Amino acid sequence: MIDDPKDGPLRRITRHWNHFCFGLFSIVGGLYVWFHQVYLDDPRVTPPPPPPRIEHIIFGFADDWWFALLLILSGGLILAGVMFYSRRLRDWGMVALSPAVGALTIAFMVRGLFDARFNLTWVFAMLVLVLLIGTLMRGDHGEH
């Protein structure tokens, strides 16, 4: 199925549903981090005692402004690719998002498995990473 530039926005979204969801939720996640920077240092999120220094180094990026910006820009590229029928923009956005999701998965896996605090974030981050890689591998076979 080849994209038709005359299709409306809803048709574009449904045709590239996975990309649309990755783009939208990357922006939402990025905005959340942007407006809640250093939230992982809050005792309501990470109860005492504070995590060991090495653990903080591994997952400390997840609530920084630059990480939020990476999520927002990646999501924006993906959404622009969906709306403007640009496979290149969708792919670039997904490739830019991949290391961010991979880093989140590793960071929260370390935090979830090697820390006494109960945390399932790493499980869902791993799911997102696997789905993202699957979407990248499958590609858009109907486009030329």
pLDDT digits (tens, 9 = 90+) for 79-123: 999 999 999 999 999 999 999 998 888 887 877 777 666 677 778
The owner of tokens 């090495």 is 54
pLDDT for 18 beyond 70: yes
> What CA–CA distance (Å, rounded) separates 14 from 53?
45
Q: Which of 115, 119, 106, 124 is nearest to 29 (CA)?
A: 124
Torsions phi, psi for 114 (to 5 deg): -105, 10
* Alpha-helical segments (H) within 36-64: 53-59
Q: What is the mean pLDDT of the chain?
A: 83
pLDDT for 124 beyond 90: no
Residues 64-83, mean pLDDT to the nearest whole number: 95
pLDDT for 45 beyond 60: yes
pLDDT for 143 beyond 60: no
Q: Which of 53, 64, 46, 65 is nearest to 112 (CA)?
A: 46
